[in-house]
Amino acid sequence: MLLNSFLFALTIVPSAFAIKKTEAQSWIPFNTDNFTSHTELITQRHKLSFDLFWAHHEDEIEFGFAAKGRQGWIAFGPSLIGEMKGSDIIWGYTDPLDKKFKVQDRFMKLDAIISIDKVQNLEVISGEQNENGTAFTFKRKYMLCNEEDLPILSTQRFIFAAGFSNERNLHEDRGTMEVQLGGKFNSPCINENIKNVANTEEKKSSAQKSVFINLINVLGIFLFILAFQI
């Protein structure tokens, strides 16, 4: 899984001027003039497309996230290694109960369970879901050093996904990309939960390599013995 994430991870370098909507982006309900950078995020399998906008402020960053034609939940967030596990997730959806659009600060634990953060460390600016798609905007601090939030870095790997509907957490497709956000915020604070994710994935990768090497050794011995018997 880690290998696949790195294979699909791309580095995206932003533009640096006030963003004007293209014809394809005309459906987006929020004002893109508020943002200075934009990039397109594309999922790995079905090539679902998301527009990501951002602008830097003194000690916080403002994001706009939009997916054309999507009537289910959409989500994205910073990830240490490009994996869903241990990721900080901003989740936008229409609540099936009260039919209101909501943007929530969530976190995926090591057991792959997505939970709502105890403290919502974001300022929701707007959010909407209609026949054209789903979109939301918010602000948050660069530096959030706790067990459920990752800091936002100048070079940041993001995970992103879209769901089949608003009712279930099951995703239709997902992706990971590295984005050059710019700015000067490179926080050394990485919480213990995230370190555990990285260590777990590294150990898993090492174990897979060991199994492969052992199989090669066994095959070599088998071929050596077979050569003497012919």
List, for residues 16-51, the tens digit of each pLDDT value.
Answer: 567 899 999 999 999 999 999 999 999 988 889 999
What pLDDT shows up at residue 81? 80
Q: Which of 91, 64, 87, 86 is nearest to 75 (CA)?
A: 91
- Burial pattern 6-41, b for ≥16 Cβ within 10 A else e, equals eebbeebebeeeebeeeeebeebbbebeebbbbbeb
Whole-angstrom Cα distance, residue 209 to residue 203?
10
What pLDDT shows up at residue 4? 46
CB atoms within 10 A of CB 155: 13
Q: Domain 2-191 adopts which CATH fold?
A: Immunoglobulin-like (2.60.40)
**Residue 58 exposed, middle or buried by CB count within 10 Å (0-12, 13-18, 19+):** exposed
Q: Which of 124, 130, 132, 145 is nearest to 63 (CA)?
A: 124
Q: Which of 65, 62, 68 is nearest to 52 (CA)?
A: 65
What pLDDT shows up at residue 147? 79
- 28 or 187, higher pLDDT: 28
Rounded mean pLDDT, 87-92:
94
Q: Give pLDDT tens digits for 106-155.
A: 998 777 788 999 999 999 999 999 999 999 999 999 887 777 888 888 88
- Give the angle subtended at the CA of 160 by the CAs of 140 and 151, to the nearest 5°: 35
Range with the poorest average pLDDT among 23-32, 51-60, 163-172: 163-172
Q: In what order do the strands lie in the sheet with 49-56?
A: 37-42, 49-56, 60-68, 133-141, 123-130
Which amino acid, residue 178? E
